């Protein structure tokens, strides 16, 4: 399955990677590597990951292991649509209007 990002989710990914890179060299790269690992796991078995409760539409989430972020995604045909790269301690559901 192909993984594609909502433009706002792509911006969140970049901003988070830059923030980590400013804190410690190569940490931003580590963050991006973990996101790529998550993408591969999601693409392999998208229905494995739990639905995000309280959203109202079929949005699933993948919690990163090393970083306090989740990938909010939907399965759309033969693609995975990442709709948010969401920090786990920030405004919940700010991305809800991106879900279809």
Residue 99 lies in a domain: no
67, 72, 76: which is closest to 49 by C-alpha?
A: 72
- In the numeric block, the tokens 């993408």 are attached to 39
Q: What are 41-70's pLDDT values in tens digits? A: 999 999 999 999 888 789 999 999 999 999
Does the global pTM surpass 0.85?
Answer: yes
Instruction: Give the count of domains, the chain.
Output: 1
Residue 9 lies in a domain: yes
The boundaries of the domain holding residue 25 are: 2-89
Residue 100 lies in a domain: no
Residue 55 lies in a domain: yes
Residue 20 lies in a domain: yes
CATH number of the domain residue 13 falls in? 3.30.2310.20
Q: Which two tokens stand for residue 26?
A: 């190569």
SS3 category, 78: coil
Residue 54 lies in a domain: yes
């Amino acid at each position: 399955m192909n993984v594609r990002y909502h433009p706002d989710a792509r911006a969140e990914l970049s901003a988070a990677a830059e923030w980590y890179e400013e804190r410690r060299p190569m940490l931003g790269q580590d963050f991006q590597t973990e996101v790529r690992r998550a993408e591969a796991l999601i693409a392999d078995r998208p229905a494995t990951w739990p639905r995000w409760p309280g959203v109202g539409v079929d949005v699933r989430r993948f919690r990163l292991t090393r970083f306090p972020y989740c990938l909010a995604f939907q399965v759309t045909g033969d693609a995975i649509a990442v709709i948010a790269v969401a920090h786990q301690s920030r405004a919940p559901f700010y991305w809800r209007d991106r879900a279809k």
